[in-house]
Amino acid sequence: MPAVPAREEVPVESTWNHESVFPSFDAWRDEYQANAAALNEIEPFKGALSESPERLAAWFGLHASVSRRIYTLFMYPVMWQACDGNNEAIKGMVGQAQGLLGQFLSSASFAEPELLAMAEETLQTWLASDELKLYRHYIDDLLRKKKHVLSAEVESVLGLLSDPLSRIESIRSALNDMDLTFGPAEDSDGAPQPLVQSTRDKLLADADRQIRESAWKNYADSYLQYQNTFASAYLASVKSNVTLARLRGYDSVLQAKLSPNNIPVEVFHNLIDTYMQQIPTWRRYWDVRRRALGYETIHPWDIWAPLTDNDPQLSFPDAVDMIAQGMAPLGRDYVETMRRGCLDERWVDYAINEGKSEGAFSFGTYDSHPFIMMSFDGNLSSMSTLAHELGHSMHSHYTRAHQPFIYSHYSMFAAEVASNFNQAMVRAHLFARRNDRNFQLALIQEAMDNIHRYFFIMPTLARFEFEVHSRMEKDEPLTPAMLNEIMAGFYAEGYGETMTDDPRRTGITWAQFGHLYEAYYTFQYATGISAAHALANAILAGDDAEAVGRYRAFLRAGGSDYAIPALKAAGVDMTTPLAVEETFKVLEGLVDRLERLI
């Protein structure tokens, strides 16, 4: 059995540049102590924000300063743990950082109730001053949410609760990333292949069907073995969502999650309704894929099976080159910044090692690089994952370069646009320039893997969490078996008669996605990929000279505007289902292309 290397065995160039954040753990601990002391600077502002515009401006300055330091303090051990979950020292640092963040949120929670207690006319007058005009959008947004902001005392308690409530996801993460073990996959000769979180995707994409089947089954079986623990953690998260939504006076968790970003709940329902109408497209794809693979029946473990034996193998620099070529329409500075981040500044932790989390993400702060955690294994899928995460990181880079700290956090609804935009651009570039059949098949494989995740799995998970939250909101009973039954039923609708399902193992899919611990994040992958394709298509068509400029303005906007109007200014209206329908046409085109090639 080939061994997965230990963290200390991987080349340093394949790891993130943690020393650019803190040179050592001791330096982090010193900063922790300094930040804990800095919380004392908050106390004199309590009850004093309405004294003068100068006093309020001073508060905003202090809040930004302390926030920047604490979020960097928090990011460092969390990023490190995702890359090296076996590091014992880091585990304690994560807990410390979570606790300090909770204390900060509690200490600063008085501010919004105090601002809302002021006369609105006074606030509006102050916002005309040079010291405060920057904060107009923030104040307007706060006034919009006024009825959902509670008293200073209650907001303080909720701030303190953020730490213990965040531990719910930490429990799930510890079980999922550190304690959960899997039986090895087996190849057709019976030889074992190591199955860990960072090798799962590669095994599921192996040409050997026995490896795929055993990896898929063994992976699901481990989650089934701990289904009660996973269910307890997830239902605790759902219960906390419902409780907080009720405390703040929202009609539902869906409204509580979307309203703060000024997103109508109809956007969620438009996505789900359009997905349901387009399910036959997925069923057609399963059948075309079955024929492409030459199988009599197709199973869930065949979804990622390679369509060609000649999937190109890429080095990490090769993948960066490929992405840079695809992103060339966005301009030289975009491409050069991206190259420098990948090859010189070590934004990307792409090593495969023991203790590394599954999946990939972009994570940084206002004062750090926009780092990326992933496991790069040299195929087109890894290249595409890198392109996706670089979309996030470049979005963060441009936002932080052009916005003050208060507007440096874009919403989740906006976040998944830039990532999927990169993939759409790179994919279109490669389809147009690499015509050989095997490369086209490999590229279709990559494209369909991505669209399957964002346009099949994520809407299915969104339906699942809507059903679970709706039942919890009605105080109906929920058990692990019920969660599995709900999940299996939604998958069965998507698979139809063309997929030979394994409902028991498919039903545990919900436990495999930490995304569910951020309620209603999942559907925003699907809306994100929809907006991304609509924006990329406008640029690729070449008949709109201003399309690139509008998109780059979207990247720079950050939190200075709501996501819906920012996207509309960029060229796509997400209050209608048109972009979702346009992306389903992209899916249909890929199925057509595959059918022609076979």
The token duo for 291 is: 């024929």
Reported as half-sphere exposure (CB side, CA atoms, 13 A), residue 454 has a value of 29
Question: Of 169, 213, 354, 389, which is the active-site residue?
Answer: 389
Q: Residue 361: helix, strand or coil by DSSP?
A: strand
Instruction: Residue count of the chain, please give it.
Output: 598
Q: Tokens 């309590």 label which residue?
A: 46
Distance of alpha carbon 183 from alpha carbon 222, whole angstroms: 8
Distance of alpha carbon 461 from alpha carbon 473, whole angstroms: 18
Radius of gyration of the chain (CA): 24
Dihedral (C-alpha) 469, 471, 474, 479: value to the nearest 10 degrees? Answer: -110
Pairs from 245-253 (Cβ < 8 Å, separation ≥ 24): 247/150, 247/154, 247/158, 248/148, 248/149, 248/150, 249/147, 249/148, 250/148, 252/469, 252/470, 252/473, 253/469, 253/473, 253/519, 253/520
Which of the 8 DSSP states describes residue 313? Answer: P
User: What are the b/e assignments for 240-257, b being 16+ CB within 10 Å?
Assistant: bbbebbeebebebbbbbb
Distance of alpha carbon 508 from alpha carbon 226, whole angstroms: 10
DSSP H helices, 496-561, are 503-506, 522-541, 547-557
Distance of alpha carbon 76 from alpha carbon 100, whole angstroms: 14
Q: Can you list the positions of beta strands (E) in 161-208?
A: 185-186, 192-193
Distance of alpha carbon 131 from alpha carbon 456, whole angstroms: 48
Helix-helix angle 25-38:88-107, to 10 degrees? 20
Burial category of 35 from C-beta neighbours within 10 Å (exposed 0-12, middle 13-18, buried 19 and up): buried
Distance of alpha carbon 61 from alpha carbon 296, whole angstroms: 66
Q: Residue 57: helix, strand or coil by DSSP?
A: helix
Tell me whether residue 389 is one of the annotated catalytic residues. Answer: yes
Strands 348-349 vs 361-363: parallel, antiparallel or unpaired? unpaired
Q: Can you list the positions of beta strands (E) in 130-237?
A: 185-186, 192-193
Q: Is residue 521 within 8 Å of residue 542, measured between CB atoms?
A: no
Q: Which residues are catalytic?
A: 389
